[in-house]
Amino acid sequence: MKKINASSDKKNREEGFLPAETLWRAAQMICQKGMVVPPIDAEPAPLEMLGLTVGILRRRKHISHSQFAQKIGCSVEELLALEAGLLPAKDLAKYLPLIINEIEVPKKFLQPLFQNIKFA
């Protein structure tokens, strides 16, 4: 993988913009864990749907990546992988109870997303 610095990196230090270095570390972590990025035209996998749902709910609560990662006890890189559906299910399982409590969504609403995920 070749690292490319974002031209906007130094300009966007506001909350809501992540530095390119954080994104780079997240990509490296995903590769190290052996996760395969599915093709763009593939149907969303259950982990992707769950990650997208978590990301949407986090943004609706106006919680930044860094604030949310701190509240659930993970790194920003792990949160980025989680929201992209690229965090292994076994790693995701340890954060789920904290995520559900933090975004204050009843488990019954997220239960359909859990049915097809193997947490072994």
Tens digit of pLDDT per residue, the chain (120 long)? 555 555 444 544 445 577 888 878 888 888 888 777 788 888 888 888 889 989 999 999 999 999 999 999 999 999 999 999 888 888 888 898 898 888 887 777 767 766 666 665
* Cβ atoms within 10 Å, residue 46: 16
Domain assignments of the chain as residue spans, ordered by start: 43-114
Put simply, whether the predicted model's pTM sits higher than 0.85 gets the answer: no
C-beta of residue 22 within 8 angstroms of C-beta of residue 76:
yes
* Sequence-separated (6 or more) residues with CB below 8 Å from residue 97: none
Distance CA 38, CA 70 (A): 28
User: Which CATH number is 43-114 given?
Assistant: 1.10.260.40
